[in-house]
Amino acid sequence: MKVEIEDMDASSLCDSVSSLVEGCRLPVQMKGTSDWPLAEIISMKDIEGTKWYYVHYVDFNKRLDEWITEDSLDTRKVHFPRKDLGPGTGVTTPKKILIGSGIGSGLNSNISTSAQTSRPSSPTLNPASVELLNGNAVLAAALQKKMNRKKKGPSLESEDSLDCPMQQNLQPTPQPPGPRQSGSMVSHHDDIVTRMKNVEMIELGPHRMKPWYFAPYPQEMVNLPCIYICEFCLKYRKSRKCLERHVIKCNLRHPPGNEIYRKETISFFEIDGRKNKVYAQNLCLLAKLFLDHKTLYYDTDPFLFYIMTVFDHRGFHIVGYFSKEKESTEDYNVACILTLPPYQRKGYGKLLIEFSYELSKFEGKTGSPEKPLSDLGLLSYRSYWAQTILEILLSIKPVGENEKPQITINEICELTSIKKEDVISTLQNLNLINYYKGQYIVTLSKEIMQQHYKAMETRKIRIDSKALHWTPKDWGKRAKW
């Protein structure tokens, strides 16, 4: 029998927290729970004699990252970072060595005899293999960042990881691809700055929100306990007093674009990222607080932004948005998509997705969201695809009396504007496709149908195509825009 243990640069036993360094991995008690998942120490700071540790819970979404004190650390089993990798690599997984059967090593003996009753038993830590970045890829990413700085001025780019509440994910490859020439994906080497939340709180209209991720707001703003944002023009201010003075001067009561859809209290506004650059940049900064994987900050010219709002006596209040390339070579109909936290779990996310496909129908195209999605985004899209496709399947009628209804994958794509690969993957995820007598058939069980009808009962708000007043534009190089 063979057992795998980890080759540490130092002992895995930690006599005190003083020997902990950035990059160490150890069990940490997650705030508000009794769980002790494995976490990595990203940063450390000392506030009035108290040591604080910023930790990322391994295999958990980054929005759960937090500052904790030493009381939440289990120092009995610490994985120290490898010294040969150097600082700032973002790769802290220790080397693995294989030990043959027989008497255990002294390291194992120490671990087994160090049990203490003051804390729960340490969870079993499975060593994970990590692909090191290829040197050429790192160089290419660095050069790309330098070019971007020259083009756009100083900026901090987002971490390339996807969550999509949506977040979301890519399999590692030996040779990472070079940075994309279009789209909202930012490809660069991971760094400590973008791995840490830097904004404590924001206030947008009547809502106070605790951000999930890093966003490149100016340094003088991120040091404040709260950033105050105008809910109509999205400009940010240092204090409520400053915001109140701004609101008196701000004459906007809706996003600065064309209203292309209105039904009851729901409206959609189309914003051109070139014509309304400041608004688009402020929108991207706000969205980055809740989107980890992809976003835009400065180069908004190639994108359109569709802002969903709810109307009351004070004006049109932003609920969420999605951005879209004016000209997508890969038929993406969504680049980034977000429902703000106060409006989540109320059906607005699916409404945003439904609206994006309604635009694709007007364009006469099939579309798909830019990959990868966030964890929450992926869940929302899978749910929307399943409900939309099942709605089509349950609505088709047989041609003859004794015949069964027939429909092709291409016909489903034409009716829904959902891209072919997304239709096929949805049918496979629902286990609806079966091979029978030389052909593929779709079988709907009573259980699937009941689940669908139940889900549709809770979907109160839908897009009405009659309320959409919009004409697609030709964004080609020769078109005037």
DSSP-assigned letters across all residues of 163-225 = ---B---PPP-SSPPPPPSSSS-------HHHHS-----EEETTEEE---S-----HHHHTSS
Give the 3-state secondary structure of residue 32. coil
Annotated catalytic, 370?
yes
CA separation for the pair 368, 356 (Å, rounded): 9
| Greatest CA separation for the chain | 82
DSSP-assigned letters across all residues of 338-368 = EE-GGGTTTTHHHHHHHHHHHHHHHHT--BE
Handedness of CA 416, 417, 420, 426 (dihedral sign): negative
Is residue 317 within 8 A of residue 255, CB to CB? The reply is no
In the numeric block, which tokens belong to residue 442?
A: 């779709």
Cis-peptide, bond into residue 256, ω within 30° of zero: no
409 sits in which H/E element? helix 409-416
Backbone φ, ψ for residue 121 (5° rounding): -60, 145
- Select which of 157, 231, 270, 370 is catalytic: 370
25 sits in which H/E element? strand 25-27
Backbone φ, ψ for residue 218 (5° rounding): -55, 150
End-to-end CA, the chain? 69
Neighbouring-strand partners of residue 439: 436
Is residue 240 within 8 A of residue 202, CB to CB? The reply is no
CA separation for the pair 316, 232 (Å, rounded): 8
Tell me how far CA of residue 357 lies from CA of 185, 334, 367, 381, 387, in angstroms.
21, 9, 7, 11, 14
Sheet containing 207-209, strands listed edge to edge, beginning at the edge strand earlier in sequence = 207-209, 202-204, 227-229, 236-237
In the numeric block, which tokens belong to residue 338?
A: 């977000």
Exposure of 313 by Cβ count < 10 A (0-12 exposed, 13-18 middle, 19+ buried)? exposed
CA separation for the pair 379, 324 (Å, rounded): 20
Question: Which amino acids are annotated catalytic?
Answer: 370
